[in-house]
């Protein structure tokens, strides 16, 4: 068995594990399918009986025919109810499975290490959770709806045909295996093609997401033509993959129909010869032809289902790849909940790199006392933001230890660790909702007075009051209808409201005008009193008052001290400072 076949089989086993949870719907669906098929197959017998009651002109048993028609009407109504019940169960089964899969996928995203998120495009991840799950649902629903009835119809019709005439049934059984051979050949071809189609669709979604999210940059640098060429290239590959998948899958129905027509023709010829010789009545022949048609019809449906299931399994394989990704390291059972943090932070022989072959931070040591303001400066790529990621435990250190109030941060709960930091980044993040909802995100129980006080402290109150509905103004996702400076003020307000014992300010005033920045710096100075603060800044004017300035280069601290002491050294920091303020 090849690796593709094994992978397909494993995916099917995983799908069956989800189905097992809702076995009651599956059982009712199979039972309803059996009832539907039984009644459907009984109808041709009644039709044949009615035909046999029409002997010749003037010799028609109307009373017998009327009784048969009444019986047929009852059976048709019962069949319709059974079909409705089967469809309801199939829909519930399918969409509950899809709900479970999506919940698991989203939960997995929540616990995935940031290394995975940073290493995959957002659009590709979204494509797995949305588009692939939709394709999986469509294939699953078709499979449940048609597969059960198809199999039961084949078995049932064989039984009824054998009860009428064994010889003609033998003709049917000898020809129909061709349908299985055709469907099996096509199924093997389509799984790989549908998987390629799904992967290319994910790549396309990722590219579209990237272009929409960075449309200003695209237009500013006149990248429209290059973007269009790249999109056309991806779209071309998607077209080829889709055409191949659709071509092979679309050949299933005509191929099986051809085989089915051979079956029908064989039954008609054999039955006609038998009828002429008196082997069977005209009514029985009519009944047999109806059964032959019903017997071959499921082969068309099942072959179509097999094709759809190939697509569904290909999409399911991509979803399960995401769900089965390795989560971030679990917290120890006796993990400490940080309380009454004094602000002591120590980094001891810390080493870390994003890519193993490219070293970044090596044997990094730092001791921060309670209430100290620590500024981190250095050229781009020296490791400033990486230190912040390690402090917040967005990434775990490879070697060494980080301690907060004497506790190794790997031995405390992530929630309590991050709850003791207030973080304002250069990149703002706001959710779709009201201004108030965005401010109280870290402290939902905050009073109106506390929210307004925090907004006034961050100098956001004045612009909020100018909005159409003040604090109840609804903003778009990521604050799309606010300026970058306003968005950053809201993020600062969010931290002002919580006032945790430790602060991280990573280029927190980069999008604010100079006048407002002076006010914000005053607000930060008030906020940082008695709180351990880590400040990452390129503008050195914002860190003159820091207690300790760490000058980083290539992942190492090359200079350390306050502003005056570092200027007196006349080293790397002094050169940086003079390059910004030289006349």
Instruction: For residue range 381-398, list pLDDT tens digits in order.
Output: 777 788 888 888 888 888
- Answer yes or no: are the C-beta atoms of 458 and 496 closer than 8 Å: yes
Residue 122 falls within a domain, yes or no?
yes
pLDDT at 81: 92
For range 202-214, the mean pLDDT: 79
Same domain, 226 and 375: no
pLDDT at 1 exceeding the cut of 50: no
pLDDT at 29 exceeding the cut of 80: yes
End-to-end distance of the chain based on CA atoms, in angstroms?
Answer: 75
Q: CA-CA distance, 198 to 242, in Å (whole number)?
A: 9
For range 58-62, the mean pLDDT: 69
pLDDT at 476 exceeding the cut of 70: yes
pLDDT at 177: 67
Same domain, 253 and 364: no
Q: CA-CA distance, 262 to 51, in Å (whole number)?
A: 26
From 291, 323, 355, the end of a domain falls on 323
pLDDT at 405 exceeding the cut of 80: yes
Same domain, 287 and 385: no
Q: If you count them, how many residues does the chain have?
A: 583
In 3D space, the residue among 201, 202, 227 whose CA is nearest the CA of residue 213 turns out to be: 227
For range 274-280, the mean pLDDT: 73
Return the structure tokens found at 201. Answer: 């669709």
Render 280-316 in DSSP notation, one character per residue.
S-HHHHHHHHHHHHHHHHHHHHHHHHHHHHHHHHHHH
Q: CA-CA distance, 527 to 277, in Å (whole number)?
A: 104
Residue 497 falls within a domain, yes or no?
yes
Residue 2 falls within a domain, yes or no?
no
Q: Kindly list the distances between the CA atom of residue 107 and the CA atoms of 18, 104, 111, 112, 134, in Å, as whole numbers in the listed order.
A: 16, 5, 7, 9, 18
Q: CA-CA distance, 70 to 68, in Å (whole number)?
A: 5
Residue 359 falls within a domain, yes or no?
yes
Same domain, 292 and 368: no
pLDDT at 188: 66
pLDDT at 151 exceeding the cut of 70: yes
The CATH number of the domain holding residue 150 is 1.20.1560.10
pLDDT at 94 exceeding the cut of 80: yes
Residue 63 falls within a domain, yes or no?
no
pLDDT at 583: 46
pLDDT at 300: 64
Query: pLDDT grade, residue 510 (50/70/90)?
Result: low
Same domain, 367 and 311: no
pLDDT at 452 exceeding the cut of 80: yes
Same domain, 263 and 233: yes
For range 448-477, the mean pLDDT: 87
pLDDT at 267 exceeding the cut of 80: no
Pairing of strands 421-424, 502-506: parallel
From 288, 323, 358, the end of a domain falls on 323
Instruction: For residue range 339-356, list pLDDT tens digits in order.
Output: 888 888 888 888 888 877
Instruction: For residue range 285-312, list pLDDT tens digits in order.
Output: 777 777 777 776 776 666 666 667 777 7
> 123-127, long-range: CB within 8 Å, 24+ apart, which pairs?
123/202, 123/205, 123/206, 123/207, 123/208, 123/209, 123/210, 124/202, 124/203, 124/205, 124/206, 125/322, 126/205, 126/209, 127/201, 127/202, 127/205, 127/206
Tell me if the pTM is above 0.75: no
User: Mean pLDDT across the chain, nearest whole number?
Assistant: 79
Residue 4 falls within a domain, yes or no?
no
Instruction: For residue range 226-265, list pLDDT tens digits in order.
Output: 888 888 888 888 888 888 877 777 776 677 777 777 777 7
What DSSP character marks residue 128?
I
Query: pLDDT grade, residue 457 (50/70/90)?
Result: confident
Residue 69 falls within a domain, yes or no?
no
Same domain, 209 and 350: no
Same domain, 306 and 368: no
From 323, 353, 382, the end of a domain falls on 323
Q: CA-CA distance, 508 to 489, in Å (whole number)?
A: 9
- Answer yes or no: are the C-beta atoms of 493 and 454 closer than 8 Å: yes
Instruction: For residue range 169-180, list pLDDT tens digits in order.
Output: 777 777 666 666
The CATH number of the domain holding residue 416 is 3.40.50.300
Residue 74 falls within a domain, yes or no?
no
Same domain, 272 and 355: no
pLDDT at 138: 77
Same domain, 263 and 410: no
Our count of domains for the chain comes to 2
pLDDT at 506: 80
Provide the residue range defining the domain that includes 296. 15-21+90-323
């Amino acid at each position: 068995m090849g690796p593709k076949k094994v992978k397909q089989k494993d995916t099917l086993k995983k799908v069956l594990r989800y189905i097992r949870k809702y076995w009651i719907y599956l059982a009712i669906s199979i039972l309803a399918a059996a009832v539907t098929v039984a009644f459907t197959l009984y109808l041709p017998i009644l039709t044949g009986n009615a035909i046999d009651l029409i002997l010749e002109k003037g010799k028609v048993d109307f009373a017998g025919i009327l009784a048969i028609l009444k019986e047929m009407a009852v059976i048709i109504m019962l069949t319709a109810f059974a079909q409705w019940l089967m469809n309801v169960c199939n829909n519930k089964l399918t969409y509950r499975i899809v709900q479970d899969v999506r919940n698991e996928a989203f939960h997995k995203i929540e616990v995935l290490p940031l290394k995975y998120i940073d290493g995959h495009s957002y659009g590709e991840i979204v494509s797995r959770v949305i588009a692939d799950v939709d394709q999986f649902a469509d294939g699953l629903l078709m499979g449940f709806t048609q597969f059960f009835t198809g199999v039961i119809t084949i078995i049932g019709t064989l039984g009824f045909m054998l009860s009428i005439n064994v010889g003609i049934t033998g003709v049917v059984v000898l020809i129909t295996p061709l349908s299985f051979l055709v469907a099996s050949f096509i199924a093997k071809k389509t799984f790989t093609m549908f998987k390629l189609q799904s992967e290319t669709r994910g790549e396309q979604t990722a590219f579209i997401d990237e272009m929409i999210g960075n449309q200003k940059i695209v237009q500013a640098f006149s990248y429209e033509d290059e973007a269009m060429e790249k999109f056309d290239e991806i779209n071309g590959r998607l077209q080829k993959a889709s055409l191949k998948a659709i071509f092979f899958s679309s050949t299933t129905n005509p191929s099986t129909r051809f085989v089915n027509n051979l079956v029908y023709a064989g039954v008609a010829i054999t039955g006609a010869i038998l009828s002429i010789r008196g082997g069977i009545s005209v009514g029985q022949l009519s009944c047999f032809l109806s059964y032959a048609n019903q017997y071959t019809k499921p082969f068309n449906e099942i072959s179509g289902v097999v094709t759809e299931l190939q697509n569904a399994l290909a999409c399911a394989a991509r979803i399960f790849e995401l769900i089965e990704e390795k989560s971030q390291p679990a917290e120890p059972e006796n993990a400490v909940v940080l309380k009454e943090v004094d602000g002591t932070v120590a980094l001891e022989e810390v080493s870390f790199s994003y890519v193993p072959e490219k070293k970044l931070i090596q044997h990094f040591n730092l001791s921060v006392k309670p209430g100290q303001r620590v500024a981190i400066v250095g050229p781009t790529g020296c490791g400033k933001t990486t230190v912040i990621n390690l402090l917040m435990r967005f990434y775990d250190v490879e070697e060494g230890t980080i301690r907060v109030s004497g506790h190794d941060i790997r031995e405390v709960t992530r929630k309590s660790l991050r709850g003791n930091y207030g973080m304002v980044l250069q990149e703002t993040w706001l959710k779709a909702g009201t201004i108030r909802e965005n401010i109280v995100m870290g402290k939902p129980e905050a009073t109106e007075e506390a929210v307004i006080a925090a907004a006034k402290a961050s100098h956001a109150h004045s612009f909020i009051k100018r909005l159409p509905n003040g604090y109840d103004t609804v903003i778009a996702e990521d604050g799309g209808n606010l300026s970058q400076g306003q968005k950053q003020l809201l993020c600062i307000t969010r931290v002002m409201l919580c006032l945790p014992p430790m602060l991280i300010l990573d280029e927190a005033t980069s999008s604010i005008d100079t006048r407002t920045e002076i006010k914000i710096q005053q607000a930060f100075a008030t906020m940082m009193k008695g709180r351990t603060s880590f400040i990452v800044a390129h503008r050195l004017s914002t860190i003159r008052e820091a207690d300790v300035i760490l000058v980083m280069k290539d992942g190492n601290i090359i200079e350390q001290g306050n502003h005056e002491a570092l200027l007196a050294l006349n080293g790397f920091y002094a050169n940086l400072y003079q390059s910004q303020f030289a006349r």
